Amino acid sequence: MSFEGKVAYVAGAGGMGLRIAQDLIQAGAHVALADVKPAPGELPSGPGGNKYFEGDLTDDGFVEKTMAEWERRHGRLDYLVNTTGVLLFGRDRSCLEMDLDVWDRVMTVNLKSFVLTIRHAVPAMKRAGGGAMVHFSSIDALRGDDRPQDAYGCSKAAIIRLSKSVAIQLARQRIRSNVILPGPVHTPMQARWDNDPAALQRLSDFVPLGRIGAVEDMANACLFLLSDKAGFITGTELIVDGGLTARP
């Protein structure tokens, strides 16, 4: 898969986003990373260039400014990767009882930020003659739960619908849009597992492939969907969960 000279904007520079950016940079792409957190201690290095934008991806002005700057610097924008997300654990409960401010916060971070990045990426991709987007959802979008996190699950389900709509709207402009649905992945968001190895082992045993996912598993899937090898794939979802959703 060749990414030499391509230009990407990765929204969310946590575990998965950082690894995706690193792999793209090492494959020759120029990558902007955007996140509300300060830049990591060591940004990825490789043949491709990079720049870190610290700011709120739910802020339309921030997204517009940073994406425009990155396009001006490189003369094009080819890829958008949306990994931004928040999981509020104990505060995100059943819709029957949760504080609706929690609902609004999760929807803003997990869904509105995707809408904003898509809105500002599309004109640049049209100017470039096409492009590809990958949005990260979750297998939680596919099922209910007796210990619900309804805001999170509903926001992740909405991402699937949003991506399908964008894929159909933009297909004739050679802009593709797809979704990855990770299963359990060891990222900073799931640092709780570091303090409970027994729970991590039980979860790993429940996954048919015998382990939870790693950030490189998600990056491998993402780079495939961005690449020309996926040139006839749009408007669909790729489940990357070690077989978890296939089990009875």
pLDDT at 193: 61
Residue 122's contacts (CB-CB under 8 Å, 6 or more residues apart) are 166, 170, 175
Residue 10 scores a pLDDT above 80:
yes
pLDDT at 40: 87
pLDDT at 2: 87
Q: Report which of 232, 211, 210, 230 is spatially closest to residue 222, judged by C-alpha positions.
A: 230
- Residue for token digits 């470039």? 128
Amino acid at 123: P
pLDDT at 126: 98
Q: Which of 12-26, 180-194, 216-230, 231-245 has the lowest mean pLDDT?
A: 180-194
Dig out the tokens for 166 from the structure.
């964008």
How many CB atoms are closer than 10 A to CB 202?
10
How many CB atoms are closer than 10 A to CB 51?
15
Residue 44 — φ and ψ, nearest 5°? Answer: -60, 150
Helices in the chain by DSSP H: which ranges?
15-26, 60-74, 100-107, 113-128, 150-170, 197-206, 215-226
Residue 60's Cα: distance from chain center in Å?
A: 18
Name the residue with higher pLDDT: 31 or 1.
Answer: 31
Considering only CA atoms, give the Rg of the chain: 17
pLDDT at 191: 62
Q: Where are the domains of the chain?
A: 7-240
Residue 89 scores a pLDDT above 90:
no
Catalytic residue among 9, 52, 79, 152: 152
pLDDT at 52: 96
Q: Distance (Å, rounded) from C-alpha 131 to C-alpha 80? A: 8
CA angle 191–197–203, rounded 5-degree value: 85
Whether 52 is catalytic is no
CATH code for residues 7-240: 3.40.50.720
- Residue for token digits 């640049």? 124
Amino acid at 211: R
Residue 113's contacts (CB-CB under 8 Å, 6 or more residues apart) are 11, 57, 58, 63, 82, 84
In this prediction the pTM is 0.94
Name the residue with higher pLDDT: 248 or 181.
Answer: 181
138-181 pLDDT, tens digit per residue, is 999 999 888 889 999 999 999 999 999 999 999 999 999 999 99
> In DSSP terms, which residues pair with 51 in a beta bridge?
32
Query: With bands split at pLDDT 50, 70 and 90, how would you rate the model's confidence at 90?
Result: confident
The whole-chain average pLDDT of the chain stands at 94
220-238 pLDDT, tens digit per residue, is 999 999 999 999 999 999 9
